[in-house]
Structure 1
Amino acid sequence: MTPALIALVTLLMVATSLLSGVFGMAGGLILVGVLLALLPVPDAMALHAVTQIASNGWRAALWVRHVCPRIVAAYAGGCAAALAVWSAVQFVPSRPLALIALGVSPFLLHLLPRTWRPDAENPRHGLGYGIASMSLMLLTGVAGPLLDSFFLGGQLDRRRIVATKAVCQVLGHSLKLIYFGGLIANSGSVDPVMASCAVLASMLGTMLARPLLAALSEQQFRRWAARIVTSIACYYVAHGSWLLVFP
């Protein structure tokens, strides 16, 4: 990557980390789309993993007292099971497939019966969503819409959502980095300069987001989080479909 491109991507990482720091979601969705457009899929996945580990790790540290360990434990079990299966398959998606899968996932949840709707505090739901989210992360790079719906479906307040989701994301993206950085045949690589910029940008965006999150009411948080996720999902479905028709 050229110095100018590194600088541009770094600014984008600050902005997307700020967005995720406020709503606990959406920033990674935007970033992975840009990286997929700029880099080979394995490289994009590996760099995105580094960025998200730094961003979510710093966010988790800032809000650590609001983390729900039981939710993390159930989710971790599902992630481990999914990684074991996909490590045997070693599938790397095309760009159109990755984008469409990202966009479709939140809408699929609305087709489920009400009794199947997610509850983040239910261990069985945590295990199931861990399997589904890890699978989607290895297929597309991000499990954002699915994981967002999981946390928004229950009764957790905004601080517990942001903190607990951050820990779950650190876990998921760490496993994704292991998968794309070493387990698949044509593993990706990360430019050390870009990786360093990603870590610093993620930490800066996360710190800038903290006072904004504290200023939001619960109603504002849920209303805008849902709108942002839906808008991004619609864009990815349209973009992925376009790439399928006009590769």
Structure 2
Amino acid sequence: MGLGMMALLLAVMVGTSLLSGIFGMAGGLVLVGVLLVLMPLPDAMALHAVTQVASNAWRAAFLLRHVRWRIAGAYALGCILATAGWSLFLWVPDKPLALIALGISPFLLKLLPAAAKPDAARPSHGTACGIASMSLMLLTGVSGPLTDAFFLGGRMERHAIVATKAVCQMQAHLLKLLYFGAMVADPGQLDPLLAGGAVLASMLGTVLARKILDALTEAQFRRWAGRIVTAIAVTYIAHGSWLLVMT
């Protein structure tokens, strides 16, 4: 990869980490879309995992006192169960399918009846969300829409949402890195220089986001988070459909 392309990717990583640092979501959705366009799917998944582990770990460290550990533990159990199950198949989808599935998921959640809406306060819901989100992550690279609905559907305040989701996502991305780095037949090959730069870029974006998160009100946080996820989902459906038509 040329230096110009690497510099562009690092700039995107700073921006997406800033976005995730403010809303606890959406940055990973943008980043994986860019990586899927520029890189082979296994390589994109592996690099995305490294970036997201660093970004979420740094975000969790900044907001450690806001983490709800019971929720994170239930979610982790679901992630482990899902990874164990998918490791029996080792299936990596084509790019168009990955993008379309990613884009459709938030709209499917809106069709659920009120009684089926996720509740972070219930451990069984946390485990179920971990299974569903990890499955989507292994198939598309991210699980944002499902995980976002899990946290936004309850009464947690914005700092607790961002902090707890960071811990959950860090766990999930570590499992994804294991899956795409060691389990699949065509594992992603990480450029050490790019991986190191990705870690630093994600940390920079997280630091810059802290003051903006503190300045937002709860209403602003929830309103803009929903708008951003919807806009990204529509973009993914359009791009995936275009790739499907062109192949």
Shift of 1:236: 0.6
Task: Give percent identity, aligned residues only.
Answer: 66
What SS does the corresponding residue of 2:87 show, helix, strand or coil?
A: helix
After TM superposition, the structure 1 = structure 2 runs for residues 159-238 of structure 1, keeping only pairs within 5 Å, are 159-238=159-238
1:119 lines up with 2:153 in the alignment: no
> How high is the TM-score relative to the length of structure 1?
0.99
Instruction: Give distance in 2, aligned partners of 1:118 and 1:74.
Output: 13
1:8 paired residue number: 8
1:133 paired residue number: 133
Instruction: Give distance in 2, aligned partners of 1:99 and 1:120.
Output: 27
Shift of 1:120: 1.2
Instruction: Give distance in 1, aligned partners of 2:203 and 2:98.
Output: 27
AA aligned to 2:49 is A
Equivalenced residues, count: 247
AA aligned to 1:73 is G
AA aligned to 2:4 is A
Instruction: Give distance in 1, aligned partners of 2:22 and 2:117.
Output: 24
After TM superposition, the structure 1 = structure 2 runs for residues 147-162 of structure 1, keeping only pairs within 5 Å, are 147-162=147-162
2:108 paired residue number: 108
Instruction: Give distance in 1, aligned partners of 2:171 and 2:244.
Output: 32
Instruction: Give distance in 2, aligned partners of 1:124 and 1:105.
Output: 21
Instruction: Give distance in 2, aligned partners of 1:223 and 1:238.
Output: 23
Shift of 1:184: 1.1
Shift of 1:122: 1.1
Deviations 1:89-114 (A, max 9, x none): 00001100110111111111111110
Instruction: Give distance in 2, aligned partners of 1:41 and 1:227.
Output: 27
Deviations 1:165-212 (A, max 9, x none): 000000000000000000111111110000010000000000000000
Shift of 1:242: 1.2
> How high is the TM-score relative to the length of structure 2?
0.99
Shift of 1:216: 0.1
AA aligned to 1:204 is L
What SS does the corresponding residue of 2:110 show, helix, strand or coil?
A: helix
Instruction: Give distance in 1, aligned partners of 2:48 and 2:230.
Output: 21
Instruction: Give distance in 2, aligned partners of 1:92 and 1:149.
Output: 25
1:240 paired residue number: 240
1:78 lines up with 2:78 in the alignment: yes
AA aligned to 1:233 is A
Instruction: Give distance in 2, aligned partners of 1:213 and 1:145.
Output: 20
AA aligned to 2:191 is D
Instruction: Give distance in 2, aligned partners of 1:237 and 1:185.
Output: 27
Instruction: Give distance in 2, aligned partners of 1:121 and 1:36.
Output: 34
AA aligned to 1:137 is M
Deviations 1:7-38 (A, max 9, x none): 11000000000000000000000000110111
What SS does the corresponding residue of 2:88 show, helix, strand or coil?
A: helix
- Unaligned 5+ runs, structure 2: none
2:96 paired residue number: 96
Shift of 1:246: 1.5
Instruction: Give distance in 2, aligned partners of 1:162 and 1:68.
Output: 10
- Unaligned 5+ runs, structure 1: none
Instruction: Give distance in 2, aligned partners of 1:233 and 1:31.
Output: 13
Shift of 1:77: 0.7
